[in-house]
Structure 1
Amino acid sequence: MLTGKTNVVTVFAFLTLFMLYGFALIFLRDFAPGNERWIADYSVGMHLESRLAHIHGNQFALLNIVVGLALLRAPNTPTGRRISGLTLLGLLMPLGILAEALFGAPPIFVMAGGISMVAAMIWTTAHVWQTETFH
């Protein structure tokens, strides 16, 4: 069953992976053989998409933690469980960006994740506002 706890626990692992990915990007830029080429191509193509995936992965992980903590403070309802799932689906965006950059995947996952996260933020706002009992 999806709850705020699921969001918090899942995205701590997700956040860790994308932080490690960030360290890999730093290594490629600063220390890897042929890093001059990496620096020259830093703002285009795969390099830009790699950085976008890193940034959105960390941002969406933090959003999941915030939503998860908010849901843990609200009564456990079907609406809260749906918000939890929708927020977790938002993680498709950074994974989709990474899949696009590495494997040439179509942008459907990026769009689905982005739409899910925006919808989750709107729904979370309304849900928390309407919740009378906030422990």
Structure 2
Amino acid sequence: MLIGKINIVASFLFVAALMLYGFALFNIAVRRVLLHLPISTGTSRWTSGLALVGMLMPLGILTSLVVGMLPIVIIISGISMILTMGWLTVAVSQTETSS
């Protein structure tokens, strides 16, 4: 029983570390694109706001597990992360690059 408990705890810690790592990479990628590429101010504001909403996913998972709240925060943050990446992809593809 003790070994099973240790395995579950280790698995959850690994998943939590992976989530933190993934959200950090998401945040770094969005900031890097917004800072270094010539993207319009409106697009920058909207995508940075959507990225911030996407960062609420761990809070949504926590409230869903601990409090039993509906996973609406998880769904909204997931959709906002997808919209952020899609919008930035379109914005970067429309920028002009110098040779």
TM-score normalised over the length of structure 2? 0.76
Corresponding position of 2:24: 61
Deviation at 1:125, TM superposition (A): 0.6
Specify every segment of 5 or more residues in structure 2 that has no aligned partner in the other structure, as ranges. none
Q: Please say if 1:38 is aligned against 2:5.
A: yes
Q: Please say if 1:83 is aligned against 2:47.
A: yes
CA–CA distance in 2 between the matches of 1:96 and 1:107?
7
Deviation at 1:62, TM superposition (A): 1.1
CA–CA distance in 2 between the matches of 1:60 and 1:99?
18
The aligned amino acid for 2:32 is L
Residues 63/80 of structure 1: CA separation in 2 closer, same or farther (3 Å cut)? same
Residues 85/110 of structure 1: CA separation in 2 closer, same or farther (3 Å cut)? same
Of 87, 91, 98 in structure 2, the residue corresponding to residue 127 of structure 1 is: 91
The C-alpha deviation readout for 1:23-51, integer Å capped at 9, x for no partner, is xxxxxxxxxxx9646336x29xxx75x76
Corresponding position of 1:93: 57
CA–CA distance in 2 between the matches of 1:81 and 1:97?
26
Aligned length: 96
- Given that residues 52 and 97 in structure 1 are in contact (C-alpha distance below 8 angstroms), is that contact kept between their aligned partners in structure 2? no
Q: Please say if 1:114 is aligned against 2:81.
A: no
Residues 60/52 of structure 1: CA separation in 2 closer, same or farther (3 Å cut)? same
Overall identity of the aligned pairs, in %: 43
Runs (4+) of structure 1 moved beyond 6 Å? none
- Given that residues 74 and 128 in structure 1 are in contact (C-alpha distance below 8 angstroms), is that contact kept between their aligned partners in structure 2? yes
Corresponding position of 1:71: 34
